[in-house]
Amino acid sequence: MDKSPAVSRTVIRWLALAALTLPGSATAQVEGGLYIAGNGFSLEQAVSTSLAQNPGGQRFFLLVLPPNTRALTMTAPDALVAVRNRVLAGNGQLLVCQRDIDNGAVDPTNLLPGVVAVRGWPPPGSNALPEGQRYYPDEDPANLPQATEALRRLRATCS
């Protein structure tokens, strides 16, 4: 069956649009995902996975839970410094939970500069996170995932 050139161009345009909106498409995905060191994944596993899934310097986010947070301290042993340097060299943003700072599991005075503390969801009835807003008023959105699902997962983990 012979198709007209106009129909073929329309099909090609739709296919091109679909390719641009597919998850994982290089042009549609401006940042990588959220990876968590803890909850059953070692720091090395989370780092290896994040680097493998975000090649070429694509930005990604690594939430580090205690006791893995030792790697994010200025007094970390050389082996852990090497692991965290792989994340930084791969354009990873290192994150910890504010909850872990608040409960004393993480000492903020010993954290590497640039590590971002992330708050979880506010308690019910709180207006700390304004209705309909994704970020707390004093947060820098540039330090956190833009993807809604990644940000939700991050906040849920840090709650």
Q: Which domain holds residue 25?
A: 1-30
User: Between residues 2 and 138, which one has the greater pLDDT?
Assistant: 138
Number of domains in the chain: 2
Cα dihedral sign, 73-42-30-119 = negative
Eight-state DSSP code of residue 76: -
Q: Do residue 1 and residue 71 come from a single domain?
A: no
- Does 36 share its domain with 96? yes
Residues 87 and 151 in one domain: yes
The pLDDT value recorded for residue 110 is 96
* Range of weakest confidence among 17-26, 44-53, 107-116, 137-146: 17-26
- pLDDT at position 21 is 34
In this structure, are 24 and 85 located in the same domain?
A: no
Reported pTM: 0.79
pLDDT value at residue 39: 81
The pLDDT of residue 125 is: 87
Please report the pLDDT score of residue 6 as a whole number: 46
CB 84 within 8 A of CB 70: no
